[in-house]
Amino acid sequence: PYMLMFAREPPREFVPVTTAYGPLMFDTVVYGEFVERVRAYLDDEVDKAVTRAAQRYRALYDRSAQPAPFYIGARVFLRVPSPENKLAPRWEADWVVTDIVGSQDPVKC
């Protein structure tokens, strides 16, 4: 099948798993432990990568995030959460800010 797909012979160590872990492949107990260790290691690496990416994206967002310039009496649009019709407007006009809740400080990490 390899010759038909790639029009050449496969490399000598085509399947490194069988050459490097030959005795391991046929012992089900040892192989199961090996698979558990590899799976745990990969899970840890994925968790580390996701955490690093989340920290990086948060820092990039916080660098450019600015608070909305709202003030009491400002006319604003109110977002409609989920319009039932895709042609329906996504914003409602004629809303006025009556109170500001929370701080007006910029976002900081």
Which range, 25-34, 35-44, 47-56, 90-99, has the best average confidence (pLDDT)?
47-56
Mean pLDDT in the chain?
Answer: 81
Nearest residue to 97 (alpha-carbon basis) of 69, 67, 75, 68: 75
104 alpha carbon, distance to own chain's centre? 29
Does residue 28 register a pLDDT over 90? no
Tokens 């990086």, located at residue: 56
Beta bridge partners of 79: 91
Question: What's the predicted TM-score (pTM) here?
Answer: 0.46
Structure tokens at 39: 């799976």
Average pLDDT for residues 30-38, to the nearest whole number? 84
59 three-state secondary structure? helix
> CA triplet 55, 38, 52: central angle to 5 degrees?
5
